[in-house]
Amino acid sequence: MNFNKFLFLFLALLAIACGGDSQQSVDGKTTIRVAHFWGDQQELWKEVIAEFEKANPNIKVEQQVVSFTVHKDKVLAAAAADVDAGDLILLEDWFAQELLDREYLTDLQPFVDRDLKPDQIFPISLESFRRGTSLRAFPVAMGSYPLFFNKDLFDAAGLRYPDSTWTYDTLLAAAQKLTVDKNGDGKPDQWGFLLDNSGGFDGVLYSLGGGVLTQDLKRSAFNQPRTLQALQFWVDLVQKYKVSPSYASIRGGASSGGSLRPFETGRFAMAMLGSMLTTYKNNQFRWDIALPPSGPAGRKALRFAAAFGIPKNSKNVDAAWTFLRWIIRDMPAKYSDRLFYGLVPNSRRLALSPEYLNGQPTVNRRVVIDLIEKYSISTWRARWLEFRDNGFMPELDLMVNGEKTVQQAAADADRKINEVLSR
């Protein structure tokens, strides 16, 4: 065999080995790949998938589970190579927004129109996933930022639990009574309120009449007087009233030296936290959730979701949608409690089922449903992560720690956010 013939044979074999058609059919079944990052829910997903496959014998579902970072990078690598990263890919809001704007995902509106009635789902959940008339991802569950409170600490202080009549003045008054220096060293051992710069912050800001972005989400709202007042309120909680700790005590997590989940330490009477309720199941105290207080601009809280998208280049769009539709329309309610970490399933049937409402941990889950339906706002847009990371979060760090005044921090945040958004 001469060299040319050998080289040809080698390259041909290489091409066969590398290429290969994507296998869509195994024993006459369509196989769909669900790419997600909920590794600790893998076993539960297996059960759900088994139920689905029983009801849909022509579709086989494979899970592709990696950590969130790897998942995100995998989706991006697949997009760069113009292949699909799975037939269904799980998306966090900020990441979904980036893919939505870049038209990487299939329009699901025709499927929704055909198969789902508006009263079967929570239509508000779809809003941030729309671009024009198209719907580029479908949220399977949603959450918001209710007011978490530690019942044991409230009982010990003889205070009434938070309710829907609360304003931020009520919250401050309660927080002052719930902040306790037990050992008399001049530093509180128990804090009245916890607010960090995650999504809970947005709700406070908007309720107090301020905002992160203008209503059209195109510019920063950090130059608005109401935003400055809201920021001052936060700084006062830390520096003037001393009912909320500075970042030095709350931020970070195991990795950065603080407690990863400060509320779980039992040292905080109240906190504005994301409603992934099952992640709080190990709390060693009695707790519940309530609607966040209302402010001069009403009661507002950021809404977030766990959505699935189907890449445009998926070869199994119909089968992928069938699985998604089955979760919303037909999945047994017994999974609704844990499958989405206690987030509200985007299916009224599941969300209002006793299995969900009475799920563990037993807290007032209707609060989150109410919050989402009546009071939630969405500020999601592309570059969300960038204008937070590089725009205002560093400024808030400095502001709350007293290294910058509210005015300085707001002015710098305003400039930086607009810089990112104007690109």
Q: What does the binding site for another protein look like in residue numbers (CB under 8 A)?
A: 1-4, 6-7, 72-73, 76-77, 79-80, 98-99, 102, 104, 247-249, 251-258, 383, 385-386, 389-390, 393-395, 397-398, 401, 403
CB of 69 to another protein, least distance (A): 8
The distance of closest approach from Cβ of residue 332 to another protein in the complex, given in angstroms and rounded to an integer, is: 36
Kind of pairing, strands 376-377 and 301-302? parallel
Q: Letter for the amino acid at 140? A: V
Instruction: Considering the complex, state which of residue 292 and residue 311 has its C-beta at the smaller distance from another protein.
Output: 311
Q: How far is the CB of 269 from another protein (least distance, A)?
A: 18
Closest contact distance (angstroms) between CB of 227 and another protein is: 19
DSSP state string for 218-270: SSB-TTSHHHHHHHHHHHIIIIIS--S--HHHHSS-TTTTS-SSGGGGT-EEE
CB closer to another protein, 242 vs 251: 251
The contacts of residue 149 (CB under 8 Å, 6+ apart) are 161, 162, 269, 270, 271, 287, 288, 289, 290
Burial class (CB within 10 angstroms; exposed 0-12, middle 13-18, buried 19+) of 307:
buried
Comparison of 27 and 254: residue with beta carbon closer to another protein = 254
Closer to another protein at the Cβ: 104 or 193?
104
CB of 133 or CB of 255, closer to another protein: 255
What one-character-per-residue DSSP string does 313-378 give?
T-S-HHHHHHHHHHHHHTS-GGGTTTTTTTPEES-HHHHTSHHHHTPSS---THHHHHIIIIIEE-
Nearer to another protein, 4 or 23 (CB): 4
CB of 63 to another protein, least distance (A): 23
Q: What's the min distance (Å) between Cβ of 6 and another protein?
A: 6
Element at 142 (helix H, strand E): strand 138-143
Between 113 and 389, whose beta carbon lies closer to another protein? 389
CA gap 192, 16 in Å, rounded: 65
CB nearer to another protein: give 104 or 321.
104
Q: How far is the CB of 393 from another protein (least distance, A)?
A: 8
DSSP 389: I
CA-nearest of 166, 153, 103, 112 to 131 is 103
Answer whether 26's CB lies under 8 Å from 61's CB. Answer: no
Rounded Cα distance, 195 and 207, in Å:
14
- Residue 365 or 388: which CB sits closer to another protein? 388
Please say which residue, 29 or 74, places its beta carbon nearer to another protein.
74
The four Cα atoms 17, 20, 23, 25 give a dihedral, to 10 degrees, of: -100
Query: Tokens in use for 292?
Result: 């966040």
Residue reference for tokens 């997600």: 36
Task: State the minimum distance, in angstroms, from the CB of residue 222 to another protein.
Answer: 16
Q: Please give the distance of CA 238 from its chain centroid, rounded to a whole number.
A: 26
Residues 137 and 122: their CA atoms lie apart, in Å, by 14
Q: How far is the CB of 79 from another protein (least distance, A)?
A: 4
Q: β-strand 88-92 against 304-309: which pairing, if any? A: antiparallel
State which residue, 75 or 301, has the beta carbon closest to another protein.
75
Hey, is 197 helix, strand or coil?
Answer: coil
Residue 254: CB minimum distance to another protein, A: 5
Q: How far is the CB of 313 from another protein (least distance, A)?
A: 12
Where does 39-167 have alpha helices with state H?
42-55, 68-80, 93-101, 109-115, 151-157
